[in-house]
Amino acid sequence: MQLKNIWIKPTILLCANGFLRSLNPSEPYLTPYLMGPNKNLTATNLINQIYPVWTYSYMAFLIPVFLLTDWMKYKPVIIFEGLSLVGCWLLLIFGDDILQMQIMQVLYGMATAAEIGYYSYIYSIVPETRYLQVTSYTRSVVLFGLFLGAVLAQILVSVAQINYLYLFVIALANIFAAFLISFFLPLPTETLFFYHKPDKEEQKVLNAEASHIECDSNTTSNSIAVKKVTEASKSKILLLSLLTDLKTCYSNFTLMRWSVWWALSTCGWMLVVNYIQNLWENISPSATNETRVYNGAVESVATIMGALGAFSVSYIQTNLSKWGEILLGCSSVFKCGLLLLMYWTTSIWACYAAYVAYILLYNFVITITQYQLAVGLNTRRFALLFGANTFMAVSLNTLLTVIIIDQAGFGLDVETQFLIYSVYFGILAFIFLLHGSYDRLLSKRTKPAEVNQDDNAQNVD
């Protein structure tokens, strides 16, 4: 009974860590706080000098952290994530110039890259029969924490009328508690890549390598040599296996198509979420009346609607293998329109509503994408594909940040940025609708031909 329930303790600890880490009332008010009397930074400082640093930091740490996460058995990476977040919030509270805020963004980028430790740890500690269950738990508590954090923020700002600074103090306390919990997580004995049990093909290679060592009278020396060869072979096999898995995944046109969409959609989502507060601040400055800034309420509604959008995917009856690409194109049309509304409107409520609709739509479609990619893939291959797709998304995000946002590039203002984001999704809509429509027409033409061939075959018989 104890062995059967051994997964319960790490699951509870990990969920507690994720919940406290996401229970962050300061997140919806980051831009008003930095532009307010606490820090006195300008919109140009934030948009063109500080916020882009997160993108570069995330990009720089993503691949090293992805490789080290499995090798270090996840737990140290979760601890590292907590330490980075603690440092980030300490700088938010006590830092006061552009350089310190840029360092804060570097720490936040490190923490974001290390999130993979949180989401992959549980698969190395629980039996495979519990994967679906624990995935639901770990992701649900994060969404619940984000929702409660946003609600708490709105109540404290609008009702208690507290200074934004205290939101960051509360967030730091929660993050520090999550950091302490991470030390109590048990260290896995196996992982998805480096420490997994070799399958039949891998074991054959290892046996072949070991058999090349000639037996001699020195048994100790021989066993050491075999061990060295085995360890070297494991690393070689792992590298070749990862490259082979990637090649296999991206050689499949269906997986490739959904992967490209995942990367492009996630890139657009990161740009919108990172700079939406700046757009709100531009439409309705918080300096005029802090208690009437409803960022917390909007983020809480967006979180709930996003969760409902993801949940509703389970009720879809459409054949996604046939109509999936059309669906992606249509969703891009709506995203294009919503972002265009955000650019044009001078009403903060219209901008709020468009943002909530955008988050709902993103979560709905990205869940479909994740499901389509997960079908037929084992956990190890899906984790690798997820990492590769995330890297593509962050790479494109970095490129666009350098060109249109960073002061080294065009350094555009936030309104123009959202116009470009709208065009970005408009281009995606055109490409996916065009190719999806072509596929449907092609399939309709080939079906009658196949039917005629079947009839002719029956006549011959």
318: confidence class by pLDDT, cuts 50, 70, 90: low
Establish if 394 belongs to a structural domain.
Answer: yes
What's the pLDDT at 204?
A: 54
Do 40 and 125 belong to one domain?
Answer: yes
Q: Which contacts of 410-414 are long-range, i.e. CB under 8 A and separated by 24 or more positions?
A: 411/44, 411/48, 413/43, 413/47, 414/43, 414/47, 414/275, 414/278, 414/279, 414/282
Do 154 and 249 belong to one domain?
Answer: no
Q: What is the pTM of this model?
A: 0.86
Residue 382 has pLDDT above 50, yes or no: yes
Q: Please identify, among 158, 189, 220, the residue that sits at the C-terminal boundary of a domain.
A: 189
Residue 337 has pLDDT above 50, yes or no: yes
Establish if 221 belongs to a structural domain.
Answer: no
Establish if 294 belongs to a structural domain.
Answer: yes
What's the pLDDT at 240?
A: 75
Least confident range from 244-258, 342-356, 358-372: namely: 244-258
CA distance 357 to 341: 11
Condensed to tens digits (0 to 9), the pLDDT of residues 50-107 reads 999 999 999 999 989 988 888 898 999 999 999 999 999 999 999 989 999 999 999 9
What's the pLDDT at 122?
A: 84
Q: Please identify, among 155, 189, 223, the residue that sits at the C-terminal boundary of a domain.
A: 189
Range of the domain at 132: 1-189
CA distance 268 to 250: 22
Average pLDDT score over residue span 263-286: 95
Condensed to tens digits (0 to 9), the pLDDT of residues 390-414 reads 999 999 999 999 999 999 899 999 9
Domain count, the chain: 2
CA distance 89 to 176: 10
Do 292 and 436 belong to one domain?
Answer: yes
Q: What is the CATH number of the domain that holds 74?
A: 1.20.1250.20
Residue 232 has pLDDT above 50, yes or no: yes
Residues of the chain with pLDDT > 90, as a percent, come to 54
Residue 7 has pLDDT above 90, yes or no: no
Residue 213 has pLDDT above 80, yes or no: no
Do 121 and 265 belong to one domain?
Answer: no
Establish if 455 belongs to a structural domain.
Answer: no
Establish if 206 belongs to a structural domain.
Answer: no
Establish if 229 belongs to a structural domain.
Answer: no
Do 181 and 298 belong to one domain?
Answer: no
Average pLDDT score over residue span 129-149: 87
CA distance 318 to 455: 29
Do 160 and 248 belong to one domain?
Answer: no
What's the pLDDT at 231?
A: 54
216: confidence class by pLDDT, cuts 50, 70, 90: very low
Do 271 and 341 belong to one domain?
Answer: yes
Do 290 and 433 belong to one domain?
Answer: yes
Q: Which residue has the higher pLDDT, 241 or 423?
A: 423
Establish if 242 belongs to a structural domain.
Answer: yes
Do 150 and 243 belong to one domain?
Answer: no
Q: Please identify, among 189, 224, 259, the residue that sits at the C-terminal boundary of a domain.
A: 189
Average pLDDT score over residue span 236-249: 76
Do 391 and 265 belong to one domain?
Answer: yes
- DSSP of 158-178: HTS---HHHHHHHHHHHHHHH
What's the pLDDT at 426?
A: 95
Q: What is the DSSP letter of 192?
A: S
Do 310 and 377 belong to one domain?
Answer: yes
Do 274 and 149 belong to one domain?
Answer: no
Average pLDDT score over residue span 366-383: 78
Least confident range from 9-13, 120-124, 231-235, 324-328: namely: 231-235
Establish if 457 belongs to a structural domain.
Answer: no
